[in-house]
Amino acid sequence: MVFEKVLSTIDKHNLIEDGDKIVLGISGGPDSVCLLHILNRLKEKLNIELYVAHLNHQIRGIEAQKDALYVSDICEKMGITYFLKSIDVPKYCKDNGMSIEEGARKLRYEMFNEIKQKTKSNKIAIGHNLNDQAETVLMRIMRGTGLQGLRGIEYARENGIIRPLLDVERKEIEEYCEVHNLNPRIDESNLENIYTRNKIRLELIPYMKDNFNTNLIESIVRMSNNLKTDSDYIESDAEIKFKNICKVSSDSVEVDINSFKRLHNAIKVRVLRKGIKAILGDTNFIDQKHIDDVMELESESKINKMLTLPRGVFVYRRKSSIMLTTTEIVEEEIEFSYNIPSNGFVKIKEINSIIETQTMTIDRYKSGKVDKMSRGFDFNKIKGGIVIRNRQQGDKIKLAGGTKKLKDLFIDLKIPREERCKIPVVVDEEGILQVGEYKSSENYKIDENTKEVLKIIFKKL
From 264, 296, 325, the end of a domain falls on 325
Q: Are residues 320 and 349 in the same domain?
A: no
Task: Assign 192 a pLDDT band (cuts: 50, 70, 90).
Answer: low
| Structure-model confidence comparison of residues 159 and 261, the more confident one | 261
Q: Are residues 124 and 270 in the same domain?
A: no
User: Residue 24 to residues 58, 83, 178: CA-CA distances in angstroms?
Assistant: 20, 10, 21
Cβ partners under 8 Å of residue 70, min gap 6: 28, 184, 185
Residue 139 lies in a domain: no
User: Residue 370 to residues 177, 361, 364, 457: CA-CA distances in angstroms?
Assistant: 87, 15, 12, 11
Residue 191 lies in a domain: yes
Q: For residue 399, what is the domain's CATH number?
A: 3.50.40.10
* Cβ atoms of 167 and 130 closer than 8 Å: yes
Q: Which DSSP state fits 160?
A: S
Q: Are residues 349 and 429 in the same domain?
A: yes
* Residue 283 parent element (H or E): none
Residue 141 lies in a domain: no
Overall pTM surpassing 0.75 (yes/no): no
Q: Are residues 31 and 68 in the same domain?
A: yes
Residue 436 lies in a domain: yes
Q: What is the pLDDT of residues 84-119, one digit of tens each?
A: 999 988 899 888 888 888 888 889 999 999 999 999
Q: Are residues 89 and 186 in the same domain?
A: yes
From 261, 293, 325, the end of a domain falls on 325
Q: Are residues 63 and 172 in the same domain?
A: yes
Which residue, among 118, 195, 125, has the nearest Cα to 159 in the 3D structure? 125
Residue 140 lies in a domain: no
Residue 210 main-chain phi, psi, to 5 deg:
-70, -35
DSSP for 411-423 reads: HHTT--GGGGGGS
- Whole-angstrom Cα distance, residue 28 to residue 37? 12
428 burial class (0-12, 13-18, 19+ CB within 10 angstroms)? buried
Cβ partners under 8 Å of residue 69, min gap 6: none
Residue 144 main-chain phi, psi, to 5 deg:
85, 40
- Whole-angstrom Cα distance, residue 347 to residue 354? 4
Helix axes 170-179, 2-12, angle to 10 degrees: 120
Q: What is the pLDDT of residues 403-455, one digit of tens each?
A: 999 989 988 887 877 788 889 999 999 999 999 889 999 999 999 999 999 99
Q: Are residues 83 and 115 in the same domain?
A: yes
Task: Assign 188 a pLDDT band (cuts: 50, 70, 90).
Answer: low
Lowest mean pLDDT among 154-158, 168-172, 424-428: 154-158
E strand segments, 305-429: 306-309, 313-317, 321-325, 337-340, 344-348, 353-361, 374-378, 386-389, 396-399, 402-405, 425-427
Q: Are residues 293 and 370 in the same domain?
A: no
Amino acid 204: pLDDT = 92
Residue 144 lies in a domain: no
Q: Are residues 180 and 310 in the same domain?
A: no
By DSSP bridging, strand 313-317 and strand 353-361 are unpaired
* Cβ atoms of 187 and 29 closer than 8 Å: yes
Q: Which residue segment(s) compose the domain that 285 sits in? A: 238-325
Number of domains in the chain: 3
DSSP for 13-51 reads: TT---TT-EEEEE--SSHHHHHHHHHHHHHHHHHT-EEE
Q: What is the pLDDT of residues 117-133, one digit of tens each?
A: 999 999 999 999 999 99
Residue 152 lies in a domain: no
Cα dihedral 277, 259, 408, 293, rounded to 10, equals -40
Residue 232 lies in a domain: no
Task: Assign 46 a pLDDT band (cuts: 50, 70, 90).
Answer: very high
Strand partners, 460: 353
Q: Are residues 87 and 191 in the same domain?
A: yes
Q: Are residues 88 and 200 in the same domain?
A: yes
